[in-house]
Structure 1
Amino acid sequence: MQLSVIILNYNVRYFLELCVLSVQNALSTIEGEIIVVDNNSSDDSGEMMKIRFPNVKLIENAANLGFPKGNNIGVDQATGDYICILNPDTVVAEDTFEKLLAFAKTKQDLGIVGCKLIDGAGNFLPESKRGVPTPWVAFTKVMSLYKVFPKSEWFNKYYAQHLSENQTGKVDILVGAFMFMKRELYLEIGGFDENCFMYSDDIDLSYRVLQKEKANYYFHETTVIHYKGESTIKDGTYMRRFQDAMNFFYRKHFKVSVFFSVFMKIGILFFSFVKMFQGRQKIKKTPNSYLLLSNSVDLEKKLSLILQNKIVISDLKKEKMVNSSLQSSKKGTEIILDNNFLSFKESIDIIELLKNRGFTYKIVPKNACFLIGSDNSNERGELIKIE
């Protein structure tokens, strides 16, 4: 077995369906397996998996065991030479794992490999590549010095700005939404530390890989959508867990002064509040118009009734991806990507290509009765059912 993809799910049934579908497509030419670990979701995630994906290994935990333990349970059942820890609110391209396997086989010092992550609007997510948050690096982050001096080596280590988003290279820390590595190495270092419920577990795992004198890599040649924040509501519980997670990492790996400990406590508290308010649902603006990228007249008619708006349908493939509808679409248009018509890679490419044009995006998964997406990385996504 070449690859085992571990997906830990908690109450994101529709994003999970989209994710597993994309992973299935990406494994079509690879000897691989998908293992979904459900942390006692209260939605019908488990039932959906049994009906929609009966051949996928499903592990249903009796309680929410947290990110580290949930993933460790999944890896324990894996048989692949490589594993990929993957969030359920992600969409991978059809060639993502082929490219990563080819890249991994060229590295003798392979630690963890991460890839280029974008949000649902096509914006690059800077946490795709990071530096070790030492006291100094943490200080530059808390004080936003990396923004003031983006070209300074002293201040730009938090988001590993020595590499651009379109440049592959070594980095220290990778994000837990997508971590590709040898299963043997994962087991050797003991997997995720179960003493940390969530949030600093990816930093800790990446750091322990570095301590084994392995190299972590950011790989830019494949792009994955990470909708972010779907498994966690940014409430008071989130704030406390975020504080505990950061304190956990510093206590475990660094000896710091009393002054710095107080400073970090204040900083962590501040950022916890910021993240909590960023995650609050904002008033959703209704799109001015809708552009359906599909060749299904039936889907066009259904969406016109549901959205109570005239849907412009466009067959990009007939027009070789150079389409007058795209060029003439105005800010406020929602682009609906039909996965029965476009591959996930084509959809990701379109979202990334048209970023910052004022568009929003939804994907209609193949053989599904809903469309789903997210307008930015600071709020939960939106689901529209197609009856």
Structure 2
Amino acid sequence: MKLSIVIVNYNVRFFLEQCLISVQKALTSMEAEVFVVDNNSQDESVAMVAEKFPWVKLIANTDNPGFSKANNQAIRVAKGEYILLLNPDTVVEENTFVDTLAFMDAHPEAGGLGIKMIDGKGHYLPESKRGLPSPLVALYKISGLTSLFPKSKRFARYYMGHLSADENQEVEVLAGAFMLMRHSVLQEIGLLDEDFFMYGEDVDLSYRIIKGGYKNYYFADSSIIHYKGESTKKGSLNYVFIFYKAMVIFAEKHFGGSYAKLFSLVINLAIYLRAFLAIFRRLLERIAKPLVDAAFLAGGLLYIEDYWENNHRFIAGGEYPDELSQIAFPIYILTWLGSVFISGGYDKNLKLSQLFRGIAVGTVAILVAYSLLPEAWRFSRAIIILGAAWAMLILPIWRVLFGKMRGRKVFASAQSDKRILLVGGAAELERVNRLVKESQSRISYCGWVGVEPDLSDKFVGSVKDLDDLVSLFEVDEVIFCSADMSAKDIFAAMAKLGKYQVEIKIAPPASQFIIGSNSIHSQGSWYTMDFNAISKPANKRAKRSFDLGLALLLLLLSPILIFLIRRPQVFLKNAFLVLLAQMSWVSYADHKENYRLPKIKKGVLPISVSLAKDSLSESTILQLNQLYAKDYRLESDAQLLWQNWRSLGN
């Protein structure tokens, strides 16, 4: 047998399916075997592989032993002359295996081979070729010098930036997403080091190949898509700690004495530096806008106070008490900011109406509270109204000016209908067209682009004109039908579209989902339709605020409720779990298809609690969950809790 492919999967079912479809296409003329090692996924990956790819050798682990151990499980029983370790979030070209194996056969000195990788938008991934992370190389990368001098032989050694990405090259480190190795070399140097749970094992294995007297190569004559970050969340703090700790393990294993200590010191400094920067950046992103808003509001209120005091209220003399600026103003500002937050004024896709609505609601709340206060604390209704007018003026203005300085659009258009181009043959375009329209209601234009030269009136053009069509129709999204286009042609088209701000997606043949550069859309994606979806930020905030408020209220009333609610100890535990955001009061009913729904916290009460379990079929439960997800109503949660409050100890 020529080739054994090993794919380790963990909760990326849709990516895995697309990966296996591309692998199957690339193996049509080759004797090979494919292993999928599943590390206890909870998204029905195992069932999908067993049903749709019965020819795959499936190893289903009951725990998550890590990337290295999972790969070794398959390698130990593999029979191929070559072993390929392949990530599940990849798509290979039809000629990838034939071409890479031909290269290896022609270069007997080659122990391992990596490949040119592009991301989901067609951009080249620099980690396709890398150098060994010596202390100096690691320092250059950590300090940012690698980014400043991406082509330097010295400073960009980590990504070997001095080497062309379009030529086959000898390199030091292979990327773990695609590692093709001779089976005989692995038997000689050993399998993956299982001390590495995730990350670092590719560096270790690459280095051992070189130490064994072989060479590693980067292959540019074929390429793969690697949806980087979908399965491993590389921007997270967890990634920082795991990755750099893996580098410490590597240093202690391969670098002796003071060299290893120096490397370990550099890496540990990097861990804490990156962790601090990540925490600081997240904190800054969350509080920067509210802080700027608060500063502008405070400045405006102080000016309004001074103007109103000297020109209207106290013309003949006198002044407002200090309590106005020291107590009332901070309360006004916090009320406005809180109301803006609840209305979605700090969301990424911000609409001007959300800002205005937040300020208006906050103003009404302030005026209502103002009317209930004693006379001594009713300083000036005019200042509140003028302050609200100032807020409605300054909050959008500073955002627009700052956005223009950064060259970014601040406010989302009220009309967010998408313009889409579908690329493929007529029959497949019919199927994907239905899939798209069922999944998304806000589509203003959906044009067809053909792959054949002779086109009917249904098509707006052919794939050779795709670049111009995207520009002409100001397209937001392009979906390629992989049933009618080779992966190589799709990759080439993606590369040409890199200059446009368009989403690029691929619709695999006969599948009910579309995979994009940043997301997965399945058929019947009710949460992407134009409904009041539970995944909307405003609904998530409202649900959390309701959970928090009710948890506090119930805990205050708990001395009475413990005598009325069944299983009071469990009730108190549930209340604290909701308070700590570990649970929600209401959530989906249990169903095996819930992984398709927007993720929410596990509920104290399922939405089916009022119905007899025996009367509910699996289909009915699924429909209940779908309706809850796509058309969420907070009053439904309140009604359900009112009707079933004695069951809060379930």
* TM-score where L is the length of structure 1: 0.91
Q: CA deviation at 1:373?
A: 1.6
Structure 2 gap segments, 5+ residues each: 286-346, 350-411, 454-460, 525-650
Residues 1:299 and 2:299 aligned together:
no
Structure 1 residues 48 and 301: CA distance shift in structure 2, 3 A: closer
Larger strand percent: 1
For residue 370 of structure 1, the aligned residue among 481, 501, 513 is: 513
Residues 1:63 and 2:63 aligned together:
yes
Deviates more, 1:251-260 or 1:54-63: 251-260
Deviates more, 1:90-99 or 1:355-364: 355-364
**In structure 2, the residue corresponding to 1:299 is in which secondary structure?**
helix
1:189-208 correspondence runs (5 A): 189-208=189-208
Q: Return the alpha-carbon distance in structure 2 between the equivalents of residues 225 and 11 of structure 1.
A: 19
Identity %: 39
Q: Return the alpha-carbon distance in structure 1 between the equivalents of residues 116 and 417 of structure 2.
A: 28
Q: Return the alpha-carbon distance in structure 1 between the equivalents of residues 276 and 512 of structure 2.
A: 37
Give the conservation status (yes or no) of the 8 Å contact 2:435–2:512. no
Deviation readout 1:60-113 (Å, 9 max, x if unpaired): 111101111110111112111011100000000000001001111111211110
**In structure 2, the residue corresponding to 1:251 is in which secondary structure?**
helix
Paired position in structure 2 for 1:378: none
Structure 1 residues 24 and 348: CA distance shift in structure 2, 3 A: same
Deviates more, 1:255-264 or 1:178-187: 255-264
Deviation readout 1:205-255 (Å, 9 max, x if unpaired): 000111011110000000100001222345554343223212111111123
Structure 1 residues 202 and 50: CA distance shift in structure 2, 3 A: same
Deviates more, 1:19-28 or 1:333-342: 333-342
Structure 1 residues 272 and 352: CA distance shift in structure 2, 3 A: farther
Paired position in structure 2 for 1:329: 470
Larger helix percent: 2
- RMSD between aligned residues: 2.4
Residues 1:110 and 2:251 aligned together:
no
Residues 1:349 and 2:479 aligned together:
no
Give the conservation status (yes or no) of the 8 Å contact 1:239–1:273. no
**In structure 2, the residue corresponding to 1:79 is in which secondary structure?**
coil
Structure 1 residues 225 and 144: CA distance shift in structure 2, 3 A: same
Give the conservation status (yes or no) of the 8 Å contact 1:84–1:179. yes
Paired position in structure 2 for 1:26: 26
1:214-293 correspondence runs (5 A): 214-233=214-233, 235-255=236-256, 256=258, 261-271=264-274, 288-293=418-423
Residues 1:360 and 2:503 aligned together:
yes
**In structure 1, the residue corresponding to 2:159 is in which secondary structure?**
coil
**In structure 2, the residue corresponding to 1:38 is in which secondary structure?**
strand
Structure 1 residues 107 and 334: CA distance shift in structure 2, 3 A: same
Deviation readout 1:109-136 (Å, 9 max, x if unpaired): 1111001000001111101101111111
Q: Return the alpha-carbon distance in structure 1 between the equivalents of residues 92 and 149 of structure 2.
A: 33
Deviation readout 1:267-291 (Å, 9 max, x if unpaired): 133345668989x9x9589674111
Give 1 or 2 for the bigger CA radius of gyration.
2
**In structure 1, the residue corresponding to 2:495 is in which secondary structure?**
helix
Deviates more, 1:107-116 or 1:241-250: 241-250
Q: CA deviation at 1:297?
A: 2.5
Structure 1 residues 360 and 274: CA distance shift in structure 2, 3 A: farther
Q: Return the alpha-carbon distance in structure 2 between the equivalents of residues 150 and 326 of structure 1.
A: 28
Give the conservation status (yes or no) of the 8 Å contact 1:243–1:269. no
**In structure 1, the residue corresponding to 2:147 is in which secondary structure?**
helix
Give the conservation status (yes or no) of the 8 Å contact 1:332–1:360. no
Deviation readout 1:186-223 (Å, 9 max, x if unpaired): 22211110011111110000001110111100000001
Which one scores higher on RCO, CA 8 angstroms, separation ≥ 6? 1
Give the conservation status (yes or no) of the 8 Å contact 1:33–1:56. yes
Paired position in structure 1 for 2:120: 120
Deviation readout 1:281-310 (Å, 9 max, x if unpaired): x95896741111122224324423422213
Structure 1 gap segments, 5+ residues each: 375-380
**In structure 2, the residue corresponding to 1:354 is in which secondary structure?**
helix
Deviation readout 1:152-187 (Å, 9 max, x if unpaired): 432221111231110111000011000011111122
Q: Return the alpha-carbon distance in structure 2 between the equivalents of residues 6 and 145 of structure 1.
A: 36
Deviates more, 1:304-313 or 1:142-151: 142-151
Residue identity opposite 2:133 in structure 1: P
Q: CA deviation at 1:139?
A: 1.3
Residues 1:79 and 2:90 aligned together:
no
Q: Return the alpha-carbon distance in structure 1 between the equivalents of residues 58 and 276 of structure 2.
A: 35
Structure 1 residues 383 and 63: CA distance shift in structure 2, 3 A: same
Residues 1:340 and 2:483 aligned together:
yes
Q: Return the alpha-carbon distance in structure 1 between the equivalents of residues 53 and 82 of structure 2.
A: 22
Q: Return the alpha-carbon distance in structure 1 between the equivalents of residues 90 and 207 of structure 2.
A: 24
Give the conservation status (yes or no) of the 8 Å contact 2:241–2:271. no
Q: Return the alpha-carbon distance in structure 1 between the equivalents of residues 246 and 132 of structure 2.
A: 15
Structure 1 residues 170 and 75: CA distance shift in structure 2, 3 A: same
Residue identity opposite 1:311 in structure 2: C
Paired position in structure 1 for 2:522: 385
Residue identity opposite 1:299 in structure 2: V
Q: Return the alpha-carbon distance in structure 1 between the equivalents of residues 348 and 80 of structure 2.
A: 44
* TM-score where L is the length of structure 2: 0.55
Give the conservation status (yes or no) of the 8 Å contact 1:141–1:158. yes
Q: Return the alpha-carbon distance in structure 1 between the equivalents of residues 185 and 133 of structure 2.
A: 23
For residue 446 of structure 2, the aligned residue among 311, 335, 339 is: 311
Q: Return the alpha-carbon distance in structure 1 between the equivalents of residues 276 and 488 of structure 2.
A: 36
**In structure 2, the residue corresponding to 1:30 is in which secondary structure?**
coil
1:20-169 correspondence runs (5 A): 20-169=20-169
Q: Return the alpha-carbon distance in structure 2 between the equivalents of residues 32 and 260 of structure 1.
A: 41
Q: Return the alpha-carbon distance in structure 2 between the equivalents of residues 187 and 101 of structure 1.
A: 19
Q: Return the alpha-carbon distance in structure 2 between the equivalents of residues 274 and 123 of structure 1.
A: 26
Q: Return the alpha-carbon distance in structure 1 between the equivalents of residues 489 and 18 of structure 2.
A: 15
